[in-house]
Amino acid sequence: MTERKPKNIFKDGPIPASFIAESIQKHSTQKAIGGHSIFLGQVRADETEKGVVSAIEYTAFEEMALEKMHLIREDIFAKYPLTCMHVHHSLGTVEAGEICLFVFTSSAHRKAAINACEETVERLKAELPVWGKEIIGGESHQWKVNR
């Protein structure tokens, strides 16, 4: 197995649709890929006891998160025959309706891409030291709990 270098997954603010489209387009030159799987996490305007969530402010213990992401990435590549994997997570404020997480996996066959994408998302949510402070009506906040 080839040792991959750790990658910075963090982006300031929301992840623009143009960035996602460009990422997909760049893969059209890789003719060995037969399947992609994409997960887009979007900030919901959840109704809470305090009011409606208008945004989430993401913070992270970045160094630890990047180390952990590298380990997750290596585990996923060891388990699935992937061609590539891209993970981008927002830091800072992301408004309701905007994209905060983009996971993109590619493989020669769809099943590996789909399963790797799903497992990657579940592990990120469970293992990365990233926190979301839900901003409620711009006046109060509460810490987001992943379900």
Q: For 60-100, give the DSSP string.
A: E-HHHHHHHHHHHHHHHHHHS-EEEEEEEEEEEEEETTSEE
Is 95 among the domain residues? yes
What is the predicted pLDDT for the residue at 116? Answer: 98
Is 89 among the domain residues? yes
- Counted domains in the chain: 1
Structural domain boundaries enclosing 105: 10-143
Is 4 among the domain residues? no
Is 5 among the domain residues? no
Burial class (CB within 10 angstroms; exposed 0-12, middle 13-18, buried 19+) of 5: exposed
CATH code (residue 79): 3.90.1170.40
Angle at 41 between CA 6 and CA 98, to 5 degrees: 110
CA distance 19 to 3: 26
52 Cβ neighbours under 8 A, 6+ residues apart: 45, 46, 96, 136, 137
What is the predicted pLDDT for the residue at 1? Answer: 47
For the chain, the straight-line distance linking the first and the last C-alpha, in angstroms and rounded, comes to 34
What is the predicted pLDDT for the residue at 49? Answer: 85
Is 106 among the domain residues? yes
Is 30 among the domain residues? yes
What is the predicted pLDDT for the residue at 50? Answer: 85
pLDDT in tens, the chain (147 residues): 456 677 899 999 999 999 999 999 999 999 999 999 999 999 999 998 889 999 999 999 999 999 999 999 999 999 999 999 999 999 999 999 999 999 999 999 999 999 999 999 999 999 999 999 999 976 655 556 655
What is the predicted pLDDT for the residue at 38? Answer: 98
